[in-house]
């Protein structure tokens, strides 16, 4: 996403939140602005291009009024509608509209009765008991607000992996253009693909005499909003992009491997390695591997060398958590982890038949242009998911026909007709058997009843003979919603027993199953599917985030269903021999 698109999308998003705060008739404006914000985020090109070509109104969700807003933003950098609303809406409270436990009405009460104007004010009022005294704010409500704030805070302290990758690339790109920089990479937890990231770590190979110039670029106002520390080996800044801390470490090219290993971590992994090295009479530091006795340097230029000197296989960054990978590497039993190039198709996505932004044909064109997949499955929502414009049964019949037409035009069965079927309260599916039986791919997901224990519902869905896969199995949204209560071990057992696949959902906020559950599922022999759950063009790139989770779960290509040809997938998830429940 370009910087300009990002700024515009943020303003539109804020406008949406402000209209939500105002409520009443404005609610529909709120929806319109949120939708437009999403659409801007998914644009492949900078908004200026659309303005130049006069195609702004072709962006879904952008009409006459939004076109005007966008023009104004382009020429002045802001939108007068936004500036005016700021005068009547407490802008400092807007970020809380989407926090669990709050909502427009509650915020309005807090603003009007307690005159709070910021999140900090709200926290203070919660602590000193002023909120508890308000009519309608009982202990459970207050407890929910506190929990919501806690989740929200988590996200403030840590970035989502996707956001961290984006921010990291923005720092990395200008460094890489410098001829003084021999090599530069993202290290730390980002390289290990953890689901959330605290600080960014960047490693660069630069000669001592050239470092001043590199520091100058890294600390320039374009990249840094504040410089925290500045030396010859380390520079810390708060990023212009998002105010988070980023550390640049500079080493000599000859030290690259040792430093890259050291700054990638994890801490536990490194401690274990150092202990191992000491036992063997070596010493490891960020500068290399040395003999303990006379401090003779043995290696350090590449990571591979370093691991080799310790008598072990190279360990992929995603595995470096000291969870048994070192023992495996010593036995030369590190699995060949799944890679993005192994993926042959995407098995959850939404078109404009439900809550996606693009038509099925547009999706097919986009995917063919940008990915080398063999198949994709359209999985629109069913009728219970009203918010997601879930489709009635009859519409699925029409959609199945259109899928056929598109495939005919293509001359191949690229597009699979599917559904993301709601699992109802009693575990039954929200789509008739008549239609389920005509679909190529059925993902079953829970979209309601998040507070109850959902194990039974999920197991019943696994036992349904039409269900191929359980979508986002725990329902969590990082920093927004905890996973619903579910006995994962029991779900995994049911998945193995019935031949139902479990999904690793690649949406940045979901990454669900998360790494440790995916690992347990893999060990139990579950077939995993990595999906993007795309709702718009750019979402298709979330596949790499899902692959990151799978690699953290030690998955090989063989563990992942969508690395296989379609006929194998059908074979592995068909339940012909299962007694229909």
Contact pick of 32, 214, 277, 458 for DNA (by CB under 7 A)? 32
CB-based contacts of 462, cutoff 8 Å, min separation 6 = 470, 491, 494, 495, 497, 498, 500
Nearest to residue 205, comparing CAs of 140, 259, 251?
A: 251
61 touching DNA, by CB under 7 A = yes
Q: Which is nearer to DNA, 355 or 413 (CB)?
A: 355
| CA–centroid distance for 359 within its chain | 23
Q: Which is nearer to DNA, 62 or 200 (CB)?
A: 62
131 touching DNA, by CB under 7 A = no
Q: Which is nearer to DNA, 86 or 308 (CB)?
A: 86
**b/e map of 293-328 (b: 16 or more CB within 10 Å)?**
eeeeeebbbebebbbebbebbebbbbbbbbbebbeb
Contact pick of 8, 11, 43, 62 for DNA (by CB under 7 A)? 62
Q: What's the CA gap between 526 and 437, in Å, rounded? A: 23
Q: Which is nearer to DNA, 66 or 186 (CB)?
A: 66
Contact pick of 10, 48, 55, 65 for DNA (by CB under 7 A)? 65
Using CB under 7 A, which of the segments 29-37, 122-130, 155-163, 240-248 binds DNA?
29-37
129 touching DNA, by CB under 7 A = no
448 touching DNA, by CB under 7 A = yes
User: What DSSP string runs through 482-528?
Assistant: PPPP--HHHHHHHHHHHT-EEEEE--TTT-BS-HHHHHHHHHHTPPE
Whether the link from the prior residue into 547 is cis, omega within 30° of 0, is no
CB of 141 to DNA, least distance (A): 3
CB of 57 to DNA, least distance (A): 7
Which residues in the 382-401 window bind DNA by CB under 7 A?
A: 386-387, 389
Q: What Å distances lie between residue 479 and 106, 269, 301, 579, CA to CA?
A: 20, 27, 39, 40
148 touching DNA, by CB under 7 A = yes
104 touching DNA, by CB under 7 A = yes
Q: Which is nearer to DNA, 32 or 187 (CB)?
A: 32
353 touching DNA, by CB under 7 A = no
CB of 67 to DNA, least distance (A): 6
21 touching DNA, by CB under 7 A = no
Q: What is the CA radius of gyration of the chain?
A: 26
Q: What Å distances lie between residue 239 and 232, 242, 247, 460, CA to CA?
A: 19, 6, 10, 48
8 touching DNA, by CB under 7 A = no
Using CB under 7 A, which of the segments 100-108, 284-292, 434-442, 457-465 binds DNA?
100-108
* Six-digit token string for 13: 């998003």
Pairing of strands 297-299, 288-291: antiparallel
CB of 395 to DNA, least distance (A): 10
CB of 77 to DNA, least distance (A): 19
CB of 447 to DNA, least distance (A): 4
CB of 424 to DNA, least distance (A): 10
The Cβ of residue 375 has, within 10 Å, a number of other Cβ atoms equal to 20
CB of 79 to DNA, least distance (A): 10
Q: Which is nearer to DNA, 105 or 341 (CB)?
A: 105
333 touching DNA, by CB under 7 A = no
Give the largest Cα separation in the chain, rounded: 79
CB of 307 to DNA, least distance (A): 44
Q: Which is nearer to DNA, 135 or 293 (CB)?
A: 135
124 touching DNA, by CB under 7 A = no
Q: Which is nearer to DNA, 23 or 565 (CB)?
A: 23
140 touching DNA, by CB under 7 A = yes
The residue count for binding DNA (CB under 7 A) is 50
The 3-class secondary structure across 109-139, one letter per residue, is HHHHHHCCCCHHHHHHHHHCCCCCCCCCCCH
135 touching DNA, by CB under 7 A = yes
24 touching DNA, by CB under 7 A = no
29 touching DNA, by CB under 7 A = yes
CB of 9 to DNA, least distance (A): 15
Using CB under 7 A, which of the segments 197-205, 252-260, 426-434, 444-452 binds DNA?
444-452
**b/e map of 219-258 (b: 16 or more CB within 10 Å)?**
beeebbeeeeeeeeeebbbebbbeebebbbbbbeeebbbb
293 touching DNA, by CB under 7 A = no
Q: What Å distances lie between residue 308 and 162, 320, 332, 334, 337, CA to CA?
A: 32, 16, 11, 13, 19
Contact pick of 50, 111, 137, 540 for DNA (by CB under 7 A)? 137
Q: What's the CA gap between 20 and 22, in Å, rounded? A: 5
102 touching DNA, by CB under 7 A = yes
User: What DSSP string runs through 31-43?
Assistant: HHHHHHHHHHHT-
449 touching DNA, by CB under 7 A = yes
DSSP-based three-state secondary structure for 27: helix
Q: DSSP 3-state helix, strand, coil percentages of the chain (rounded to 5)?
A: 50, 15, 35
Q: What's the CA gap between 67 and 55, in Å, rounded? A: 10
Q: What's the CA gap between 444 and 532, in Å, rounded? A: 15
Contact pick of 36, 89, 363, 376 for DNA (by CB under 7 A)? 36
| Interaction site with DNA (CB under 7 A) | 20, 25, 27-33, 36, 57, 60-67, 81, 100-107, 109, 135-142, 144, 148, 386-387, 389, 425, 447-452, 481
């Amino acid at each position: 996403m370009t910087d300009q698109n990002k700024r515009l999308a943020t303003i539109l998003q804020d406008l949406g939140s402000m209209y939500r705060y105002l409520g009443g008739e404005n609610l529909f404006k709120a929806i319109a602005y949120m939708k437009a914000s999403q659409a801007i985020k998914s644009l492949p090109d900078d908004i200026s291009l659309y303005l130049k070509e006069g195609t702004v109104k072709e962006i879904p969700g952008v009409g006459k009024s939004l076109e005007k807003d966008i023009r104004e933003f382009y020429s002045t950098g802001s939108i007068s509608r936004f500036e005016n609303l700021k005068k009547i809406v407490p802008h400092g409270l807007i970020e809380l509209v989407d926090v669990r436990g709050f909502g427009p009405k509650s915020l309005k009460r807090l603003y009007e009765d307690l005159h709070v104007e910021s999140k900090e004010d709200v926290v203070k009022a919660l602590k000193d008991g002023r909120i508890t005294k308000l009519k309608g704010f009982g202990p459970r409500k207050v407890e929910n607000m506190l929990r919501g704030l806690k989740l929200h805070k988590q996200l403030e302290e840590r970035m989502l992996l996707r956001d961290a990758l984006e921010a990291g690339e923005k720092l990395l790109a200008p460094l890489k253009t410098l001829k003084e920089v021999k090599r530069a990479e993202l290290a730390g937890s980002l390289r290990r693909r953890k689901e959330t990231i605290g600080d960014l770590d960047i490693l660069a190979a630069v000669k001592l005499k050239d470092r001043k110039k590199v520091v100058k670029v890294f600390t320039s106002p374009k990249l840094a909003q504040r410089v925290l520390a500045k030396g010859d080996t380390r520079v810390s800044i708060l990023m212009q992009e998002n105010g988070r801390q980023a550390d640049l470490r500079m080493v000599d090219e000859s030290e690259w491997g040792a430093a890259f290993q050291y700054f990638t971590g994890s801490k536990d992994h490194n401690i274990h390695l150092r202990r191992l090295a000491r036992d063997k009479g070596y010493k490891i530091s960020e500068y290399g591997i040395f003999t303990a006795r006379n401090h003779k340097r043995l290696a350090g230029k590449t990571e591979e060398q370093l691991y080799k000197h310790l008598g072990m296989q190279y360990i992929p960054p995603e595995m470096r958590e000291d969870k048994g990978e070192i023992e495996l590497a010593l036995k030369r039993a590190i699995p060949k982890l799944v890679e993005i190039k192994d993926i042959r198709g995407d098995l959850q996505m939404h078109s404009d038949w439900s809550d996606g932004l693009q038509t099925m044909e547009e999706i097919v064109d986009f995917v063919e242009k940008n990915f080398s997949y063999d198949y994709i499955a359209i999985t629109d929502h069913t009728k219970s998911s009203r918010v997601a414009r879930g489709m009635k049964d009859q519409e699925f019949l029409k959609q199945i026909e259109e899928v056929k037409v598109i495939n005919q035009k293509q001359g191949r069965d690229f597009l699979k007709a599917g559904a993301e079927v709601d699992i109802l309260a009693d575990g039954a599916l929200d789509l008739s058997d008549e239609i389920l039986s005509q679909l190529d791919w059925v993902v079953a997901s829970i979209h309601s009843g998040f507070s109850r224990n959902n194990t039974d519902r999920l197991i019943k869905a696994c036992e349904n003979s039409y269900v191929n896969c359980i979508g986002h199995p725990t329902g969590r949204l990082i920093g927004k919603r905890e996973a619903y209560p579910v006995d994962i071990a029991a779900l995994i057992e049911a998945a193995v027993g019935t031949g139902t696949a479990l999904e690793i959902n690649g949406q940045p906020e979901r990454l669900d199953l998360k790494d440790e559950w995916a690992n347990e599922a893999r060990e139990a022999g579950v077939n995993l599917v990595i999906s993007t759950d795309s709702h718009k063009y750019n979402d298709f790139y979330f596949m790499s985030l899902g692959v990151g989770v799978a690699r953290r779960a030690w998955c090989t290509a063989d563990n992942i269903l969508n690395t296989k040809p379609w006929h194998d997938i059908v074979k592995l998830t068909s339940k012909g021999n299962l007694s229909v429940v």
